[in-house]
Amino acid sequence: MTPDTTRSSFGEIRNSLTGRLRIPVAIFLIALILRLIFLLLMLGEHGTQPLAGLFDDSAKYIKAADCLFGISTTGQYELYLVGPGYPFFLGIINIIFGRVDWLVMALQIIMSGLTCVGIYLIARRLIANDTVAVLAGLIAAVSMTSISLANSLLTETLFLFLLVLSLERFFKGLAENRWTSFAAAGILGGLAVLVRSAAMFFPVLLVLFAVIIPAGWIRARRGQLILKAVVTALIMTVISLGWAARNSAVHDVFTVAGTGMGAARLYLAGRVVYAVGERPPHEYRAFRDSLYESTVPDIRAGKYKKLNEEATAFVTATMREYPARFIWTYISTIIHNMTVISTLEYAQIPQLGGIFEFFDRRFSPGYKNPIILILTLTGFIILARRSLRIAIILLSVVVYFGAASGITFGQGSRVYFPAQAAYAIFVSAALLFFYDLIRWLMRSFVGILKQKA
């Protein structure tokens, strides 16, 4: 091979790589710039004040991190409540660099930008439409929920980062029949469950994906892929159950995190019990707080098994006594969480609160806006006409996290946020459809005018 030929080959490889990376890099940079601007505005507003004090849940994660790394023994309940994933992330940074809130957020900003790229890659692989994929990545990049969560000491950014990486590896495994991709998907998915236990049943979906994925989309026999999907699901499950076994040994409660049943008691069953008593809606918060205060003695005594058993009994009894009201409350909470908008930014950059309020009053009365849900359903219909199986796979992710959100409310758009891994793709398909429809209508209108002229 001559030097000129070598240079030509390297040039072709370089141009090929540049062409493939140009769009992902652009999506990442857009996401990065928006989140960094947000962080700078936050730092300008709060100065040297601890950013961890902006949200109550942040204190829980910090206490859990201190407990996990032996810095303090007062965070046992918080660690039991939230699981080890995010506390481990915070604790590692604390040990290496000290407690530097902005550094945590800087790392989350990078993860959030990579998540947008991951959504683009998933869309590109599943839909095989570059425009839809690019739009999906950009929708995630400009999402106010995503931007504000990346700048918060909250679990959602790390969780979605791990989940999207897991899904991208899993779909790559289905397409290319590679064990390494399936194994990576299982490990990343298991870590995601340790960050947010809401994903503990997600392994079931992975097996379902292998069962219903279109035959023309895969390169191996379906039986082989189902087996590898089962192994992926088992890896994911074993990782999460490892921490559940630890909780069983330490607290006599076999669970990844205690927050699920506790939230169902306070926000779902508690809301049902309060509603059937026909009491004023504005007094519900006081009632909910009284339910929590009744558990404080057991929390302080470390009786987590008793807490879990009483919460389970309360939820079960409420469901049996008021089944219709329970189901309606659950469904209405899901719809609420699917339509509520981001409000974290009001606390993060209050100097722009007037601007947020101006737009929210006009486009999101009551801090709710159904447009994303409407576009999601529209996008499902559009994609289903092209490939029903792929549309069902994406919809199952939306439905899963929608259903998981039904046990709690009052946290803005962050509860439903993980569904962005799929709904961004649906919204992208819907926007592209309406764009093409408008162009067609305009051309038709112009054609009619020309004929009349």
Distance CA 64, CA 307 (A): 18
* CB within 8 Å of 209: residues ≥ 6 apart: 170, 171, 174, 229, 393, 396
Distance CA 215, CA 235 (A): 25
- Count Cβ atoms below 10 Å from residue 332 Cβ, excluding itself: 13
Distance CA 121, CA 23 (A): 10
Asked if residues 196 and 408 have their Cβ atoms less than 8 Å apart, the reply is no
Report whether pLDDT(45) > 70: yes
Residue 7: predicted pLDDT: 53
Q: Is residue 288 very low, low, confident or very high in pLDDT (cuts 50, 70, 90)? A: confident
Asked if residues 245 and 254 have their Cβ atoms less than 8 Å apart, the reply is yes
The ranges assigned to domains in the chain are 163-253
Asked if residues 329 and 272 have their Cβ atoms less than 8 Å apart, the reply is yes
Q: Which of 8-22, 66-80, 104-118, 297-311 has the highest mean pLDDT?
A: 104-118
Chain centre to alpha carbon of residue 44:
28
Cite the beta strand spans of 307-396 per DSSP E: none
Specify the range with the lowest mean pLDDT, choosing from 39-53, 198-212, 324-338.
Answer: 39-53
Asked if residues 402 and 419 have their Cβ atoms less than 8 Å apart, the reply is yes
Specify the range with the lowest mean pLDDT, choosing from 4-18, 93-107, 350-364.
Answer: 4-18
Across 188-213, average pLDDT: 96
Residue 6: predicted pLDDT: 46
The interaxial angle of helices 101-127 and 156-176, nearest 10 deg, is: 30
Q: Is residue 96 very low, low, confident or very high in pLDDT (cuts 50, 70, 90)? A: very high
The token pair that represents 176 in the structure block: 């290319």
Asked if residues 372 and 427 have their Cβ atoms less than 8 Å apart, the reply is yes
Asked if residues 88 and 246 have their Cβ atoms less than 8 Å apart, the reply is no
Q: What is the pLDDT of residues 154-182, one digit of tens each?
A: 999 999 999 999 999 999 999 999 999 99
Asked if residues 151 and 348 have their Cβ atoms less than 8 Å apart, the reply is yes
Asked if residues 228 and 182 have their Cβ atoms less than 8 Å apart, the reply is yes
Q: What is the pLDDT of residues 405-427, one digit of tens each?
A: 999 988 889 999 999 999 999 99
The token pair that represents 79 in the structure block: 């660690």
Across 110-134, average pLDDT: 96
